[in-house]
């Protein structure tokens, strides 16, 4: 029998008392691990974080914590090959694994570096300058940021078991707040492996990080007004947790990053002979196939001028037809399986709903194309073809309301730029959008119209493409989150994120006292 995942709480690893349920390899359906079906005593877990972890972290300066993040990044970098091998069980190719594992470790380095360069060797942050309130200059006000006294609780999604944890952990740690991680069950074995390595390194203060490989039942009931809750998942899950009575009554700080109907816009200037046309097509294909389309930032809606949609469709189809699907352990494979067969059924159901007003122009939900490698177990693995849909009616509702969380994207025509921006807004708020054009006038108009509906916008052209991080990449320097359907939250954005884990307080007193507080 495969080993059951342990939780790390209260300063030690705990083996569950139940037999658990199996977690299967996405490519072969062979058991990888088991996960407990019994919840933990979350009141004790959170108390330990607050008392032990919080006290230890607040005893360190920002500079101290920044140095520990960099040391942790260096330590985990040496373990990337081991983590990558295990990540193949999730259905990720090695290239996909780098986005999750290398990307997550990279967040530690960014926050460690920014903290070392930009934060003081103190325990509080100034927010603005002293403002004098009297004519004699003897009385003023200074706003300070101090760490909250609770725990930063993460409830994460299956698609990024490493990055999803570390991108939340790094800013919380730098701010001085301990973390409790609840990974998604399907890929929790990879999260557990990384946490084991973190704990064995002994780099972090005790209590700074705890791991719950167990159901979340009762977790939210134990939260207080000093705790924080960060959720990554579906729109429905994020909305339900936001409404939890303890979250609302205790004003628990809450941020959500939910799947959204992200879009890419092709400017009218980007005809087939331009570099921008090729960039647009490559972007769609990358977002459909990277992580097998299981990304909250993936392009779900591609907006194309009416007279270019046939050319875009043909170009996307041609690229997809040359990408091998199969077991991610095969280095020739470009598209692995979905995380599991249940996820495949969800994707098929969503595509069927999209097909009410759209039509499939590439792929078959029930069959995998023949451009495959012999290493794939198609009877047991969660394989699915990339699926490209086309909507010829601008009035269709489905592409703006239904997300298929897999290798699925839709082409939608537009009449003019105002029409395109109205269509993009119908998604109700998204994490990311890309605007592909060489015309700065088109780009500027699109940015102004789209910004209220998005957390991040990429303006892409042939001049910046070589250094562009791409449509879907959530980088630690930029906001990750979005309004409306995208969850209404914010993560990352460099040191801006620290204020989420800290309390802003107005301190009134003499200028001399306020200056002394800045050095506390």
The residues that are catalytic are 257, 296
CA-based nearest residue to 326, from 317, 318, 314, 334: 334
Bin 372: left if φ > 0, else alpha if -120 < ψ < 50, else beta.
Answer: beta
- Bridge partners, residue 389, by sequence: 360, 410
Neighbours of 402 (CB within 10 A): 19
Please name the residues in contact with 513: beta carbons below 8 A apart, sequence gap of 6 or more.
none
- Bridge partners, residue 229, by sequence: 153, 254
CA-based nearest residue to 33, from 21, 23, 47: 23
For 455, the token pair is 């957390």
What does the alpha-carbon distance between residue 127 and residue 108 come to, in Å, rounded to a whole number? Answer: 24
Q: Strand 209-211 to strand 262-266: parallel, antiparallel, or no bridges (unpaired)?
A: unpaired
CA-based nearest residue to 299, from 130, 478, 424, 440: 424
CA-based nearest residue to 326, from 406, 380, 389: 380
Looking at 100-167, which runs of residues are DSSP E strands?
Answer: 125-132, 140-147, 152-155
Residue owning tokens 């570099």: 275
Would you call 132 helix, strand, or coil by DSSP? strand
Q: Is the separation of the CB atoms in 466 and 442 below 8 Å?
A: no
Please name the residues in contact with 243: beta carbons below 8 A apart, sequence gap of 6 or more.
none
Q: Is 300 exposed, middle or buried (0-12, 13-18, 19+ CB in 10 A)?
A: buried
**DSSP state, residue 487:** -
Could you tell me the sign of the dihedral formed by the alpha carbons of 347, 353, 355, 358, in that order? negative
For 59, the token pair is 């005893």
Q: Strand 179-182 to strand 152-155: parallel, antiparallel, or no bridges (unpaired)?
A: parallel
| Count of positions (residues) in the chain | 520
CA 455 distance to own-chain centroid = 12
Q: Is the separation of the CB atoms in 498 and 104 below 8 Å?
A: no
CA 155 distance to own-chain centroid = 12
């Amino acid at each position: 029998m495969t080993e059951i995942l342990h939780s790390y709480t209260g300063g030690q690893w705990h083996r569950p008392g139940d037999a658990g349920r199996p977690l299967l390899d996405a490519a072969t359906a062979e058991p990888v691990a088991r996960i407990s079906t019994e919840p933990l005593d979350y009141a004790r877990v959170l108390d330990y974080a607050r008392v032990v972890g919080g006290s230890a972290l607040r005893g360190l300066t920002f500079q101290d914590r920044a140095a520990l993040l960099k040391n942790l990044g260096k330590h985990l970098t040496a373990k990337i090959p081991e983590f990558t091998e295990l990540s193949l069980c999730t259905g990720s190719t090695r290239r996909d694994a780098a986005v999750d594992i290398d990307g997550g470790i990279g967040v530690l380095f960014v926050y460690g570096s920014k903290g070392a360069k930009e934060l003081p060797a103190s325990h509080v942050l100034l927010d603005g300058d002293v403002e004098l309130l009297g004519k004699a200059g003897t009385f003023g006000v200074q706003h300070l940021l101090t760490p909250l006294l609770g725990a930063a609780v993460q409830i994460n999604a299956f698609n990024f078991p490493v990055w999803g944890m570390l991108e939340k952990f790094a800013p919380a740690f730098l701010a001085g707040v301990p973390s409790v991680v609840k990974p998604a069950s399907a890929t929790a074995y990879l999260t557990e492996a990384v946490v084991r390595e973190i704990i064995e390194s002994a780099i972090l203060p005790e209590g700074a990080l705890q791991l719950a490989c167990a159901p979340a039942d009762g977790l939210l009931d134990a939260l207080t007004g000093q705790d924080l809750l960060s959720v990554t998942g579906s729109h429905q899950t994020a909305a339900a947790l936001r409404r939890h009575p303890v979250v609302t009554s205790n004003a628990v700080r809450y941020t959500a990053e939910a799947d959204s109907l992200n879009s890419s816009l092709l400017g009218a200037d980007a005809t087939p002979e331009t570099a921008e046309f090729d960039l647009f097509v490559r972007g769609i294909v990358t977002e459909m196939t990277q992580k097998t389309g299981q990304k909250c930032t993936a392009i779900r809606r591609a907006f194309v001028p009416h007279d270019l949609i046939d050319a875009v469709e043909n170009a996307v189809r041609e690229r997809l037809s040359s990408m091998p699907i199969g077991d991610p352990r095969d280095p020739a494979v470009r598209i692995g399986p979905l995380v599991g067969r249940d996820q495949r059924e969800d994707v098929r159901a969503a595509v069927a709903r999209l097909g009410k007003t759209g039509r499939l122009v590439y792929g078959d939900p029930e069959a995998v194309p023949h451009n495959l490698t012999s290493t794939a177990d198609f009877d047991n693995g969660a394989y699915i073809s990339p699926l490209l849909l086309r909507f010829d009616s601008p009035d269709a509702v489905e592409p703006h309301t239904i997300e298929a969380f897999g290798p699925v994207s839709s082409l939608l025509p537009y009449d003019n730029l105002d029409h395109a921006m109205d269509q993009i807004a119908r998604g109700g708020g998204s994490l990311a959008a890309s605007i592909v054009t060489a015309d700065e006038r088109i780009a500027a108009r699109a940015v102004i119209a789209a910004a209220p509906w998005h957390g991040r916008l990429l303006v892409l052209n042939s001049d910046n493409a070589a250094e562009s991080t791409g449509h879907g990449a959530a980088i630690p320097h930029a906001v990750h989150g979005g309004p409306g359907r995208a969850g209404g939250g914010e993560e990352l954005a460099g040191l801006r994120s620290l204020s989420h884990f800290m309390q802003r307080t107005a301190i009134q007193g003499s200028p001399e006292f306020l200056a002394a507080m800045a050095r506390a």
